[in-house]
Amino acid sequence: MIGTRATIALTKRELIRQTRQPSRIIASIATPLLIWLFIVGGFSKSIGAVAQSDANIGAYTIPGMASLTVMFASIFASISLIQDRHDGVLRAALVSPAPRWSIALSKISAGSILALAQALIIILTLPFLGVSVNPIGILGAIAALACISIALIGLGLALAWIVDSSQGFHGVMNALLMPMWLTSGAIFPVENSAGWLKAIAIINPLTWTHSAMRLSLGMETGLNPTASWIISIAFALAGTVFATFAISQTKRT
């Protein structure tokens, strides 16, 4: 009971703190939208089979832009652990009766709620691009995005527990996540890529979460639907385990 109450209280604190930083929310949405505009407006004719029309490539890349929004929001959510350490908030939480896993779950919960709210804005542009969506499809896409958010926040928290510098944290996360995103079929179809790149994409968990998202939205994908969801859920569970395990370790605060 103590852990549950602590998780709820810390989640509320994280939601209030992050919503009071509108610049981060705007940046998480604006950057993917700008990338999307460049791709659709400048490169749509060079993408091949997907680029039969600007509307097609525009719709195809929307799930990738939604996941990029989640990725940025997840980085901001997990870096708050470093800020809490510097402000002394983390020390107070660690010496309280609340279990350490409540710290991880609260940050994952609050960060995921905000990340999904931002990504939903991107997903809801699909009807304007000629793609018919239904409530079940949107819920499926949100579920896939939730797997991405939970996994990335969990991985970010595990790294933030080790790294004590915000600059170092951003550098490592960008070096890790951007290649994952670029090789996940967010922009180009995995099926039509070179053999070596396709091999990398297959072992990339983001590839499978993008497949699960597109399948929910009625888009074509060459990957197995069952495998897509199993790997997506496993990815989320792995991120949660990494975060809770890292925060359970003793470290100077």
- pTM value is 0.79
pLDDT of residue 166: 76
pLDDT tens per residue across span 188-217 = 777 766 778 888 889 999 999 999 999 998
Contacts of 96 (CB under 8 A, 6+ apart): 6
Whether 251 has a pLDDT exceeding 70, the answer reads no
Q: How far apart are CA 162 and CA 174, in angstroms?
A: 16
pLDDT of residue 203: 93
Distances (CA, A) of 124 to 66, 91, 137, 207, 211: 10, 41, 11, 21, 18
Q: Could you tell me the two tokens for 144? A: 């896939």
Query: Which of 137, 103, 124 is closest to 59 using CA atoms?
Result: 124
Q: Is the dihedral of CA 118, 119, 121, 122 positive or negative?
A: positive
pLDDT tens per residue across span 110-167 = 889 888 988 998 898 888 888 888 999 999 999 999 999 999 999 988 888 888 777 7
252 DSSP assignment: -
Q: How far apart are CA 105 and CA 111, in angstroms?
A: 10
Q: What value does the mean pLDDT of the chain take? A: 79
Whether 55 has a pLDDT exceeding 50, the answer reads no
Q: Give me the helix-helix angle, 62-87 and 2-19, nearest 10°.
A: 110
Contacts of 30 (CB under 8 A, 6+ apart): none
Query: Which of 169, 145, 174, 160 is closest to 66 using CA atoms?
Result: 145
Q: How far apart are CA 83 and CA 68, in angstroms?
A: 23
Distances (CA, A) of 204 to 26, 129, 200, 218, 219: 28, 28, 6, 22, 20
88 DSSP assignment: T
Contact 70, 148 (CB under 8 A): yes
